[in-house]
Amino acid sequence: MRSRVALVALTASLSACSAGSDDPDESRQGGDTTVDDRTYTAFTHPAANLTMEEQSKFTLGTSPFNFVWEIPQLGPFYNNDSCLGCHVGFGRGLPQIGPTGIIDINGPQSESLVRVSLPEGAPNVPGGPVSVPGYGTQLQDHATNGVAEASITLTWTEQAQMFGDGETISLRTPHLEIRDGLGNAIPVDMRTSFRTAPPMIGLGLLESVDIDALADPNDVDGDGISGALNDVWNPETNATERGRFGWKANTPTLHIQAASAAENDMGLSSFIFPETNGNNDIQADQMEGMAFMVSAIAVPAAAPRNAEATHGRELFDQFRCSSCHMPTLVTGTGPIPELSNQTIHPYTDLLLHDMGDLLTDARPDFEARGVEWRTPALWGIGIATTIRDGIAFLHDGRARSYAEAIMWHGGEAQPSHDAFQGASKAEREALAAFLDTL
C-alpha cells in the first residue's frame, strides 16, 4: 500500500511518563495515555500505555488510513482519495473545497465537505436528515470519470469588529456557490452545511465518557448553559443511540464514524455500509484496524505555563469558557482497557449548545438544531499550526485565530464573547497564551 505522507514515530517508541490521575496542573491531558511530544509528529502516536500487541494493531491500522485509494475502489464520486488527505498529521483539515485543491493521482482533492438535506420529507433513517434526490446527504465534488455531483466555489467576505479598548479585528464569513457537475443551478430548496475535518487525537477516550451524566438540556442548575444530547441512528445495531462524534454529534461510535467517512468522503463500501453485491472496497480487517487506530491516537502533554498563561487559565474560568469547554472529565469502561478510568483534560463537555444565529447552518441533523454545535475538544489546539500551516478554527474554518473564534460565539456563549470583547489587550493575550499550552 502506498502512503501519501510517511508519518514518523507511529510505533510506541515514545513513552509517556504519566503523572497519575490527580495531576493538579492538567498537563497530562490524556491521563496515562499522554505522550510527551509537541512537535509536528505530536498527533501521530499511539496511546502511551497500550500493550505491545495493541501497538502493532495501531501501526497496522494506519495503512488503510494513509492509503491513496484508486479506481475501481475509489468513487465514483468522492471528496478526497485518502483519510490522511483531510487529516494531515491526524490534525485539522483546511477550509478548502472545489477545483483548487491539492492535485493527487486522481486529480484535485477537497479537504472540506458540504452536508445537504431537504427541509421536509421522509428521512432515510429514523430521525435523520432528509436526503436530497440524486445527492444524498453529502455532496461529492470530484469524480473518477466524467463530471462530479456538484461544482462548489468557496469565497469569503470580511467584516470588522471592535474590542472594548478600540482595537479592531476582521471576521470572515464563508460563502458557497453550489451548482451541479455541469455548472447548472440545483433546482431544489437544499439546506447546506460547510464543514472542515476536525483533529483526531483522544477520540477513544471521549468515546468512554458518560455524556448522559453531563447533559443539562433544561438548564436545571440555572447557569445559563443547557448542554443537550443528540439521539442518532446506529446502522450496526439498527437502533437509536446517543451521538457524540462529528460537529453536530450526529455519529454514535468511532466504528460508524470511520465507516461513514470512508463511504461519504471516498465512496468506499465496507461491511458496515456494504455493496448490494457483497463485494466491499474495504475489507473487514482493514476497517477494524483503522477503527482501532482512530480510537487509540494519543493526546500530547500540555506545555508548561508561565505567569501569563497561568493568568490566562484563570481568565478561561472567569470568562465562563469552562462552562462548555470543561477542563476535566473521567472516562468509564470502554472497548480499549487502557483508555478506561482515566482522568483527562479535553476541555469539552461533548454536548450540543446554541451558538447563536451568526453560526447557524439552518440545517437540522437528527435532534441537533441549526444553531447547535457540539463543543469541540481544545486539547492539542496550541500546536495546531505546528502540525500544519494554514489551519483554521470552528466548524467551517472561518476563524483564523483564537480571538476570531471567540468573537463568533453567541447564544449560550454570548457572556463569554462579551467578557472577551470587553477585556484588555493584555487579558486577551493571556488567554491566548494559555490556549497555546494545550
d(CA 405, CA 385): 15
pLDDT at 107: 64
7 closest CA partner among 51, 45, 56, 55: 45
pLDDT at 99: 73
Phi-psi group of 168: left, alpha or beta (phi > 0 → left; psi -120 to 50 → alpha; rest → beta): beta
Cell of 192: 447546506
pLDDT at 359: 97
pLDDT at 424: 98
The series of mean pLDDT values per 10 residues for the chain, 438 residues long, is 35 33 74 97 98 96 94 94 94 88 68 96 95 95 92 96 97 96 90 97 97 90 89 97 97 96 96 89 94 97 97 97 97 94 97 97 96 98 96 97 98 97 98 98
d(CA 32, CA 34): 6
Q: How far is CA 395 from CA 184, 341, 399, in A?
A: 28, 30, 9
328 closest CA partner among 340, 338, 342, 312: 342
Cell of 81: 482519495
Instruction: Determine the length of the chain.
Output: 438
Q: What's the count of helices (H) and strands (E) in the chain, helices before strands?
A: 9, 15
pLDDT at 109: 85
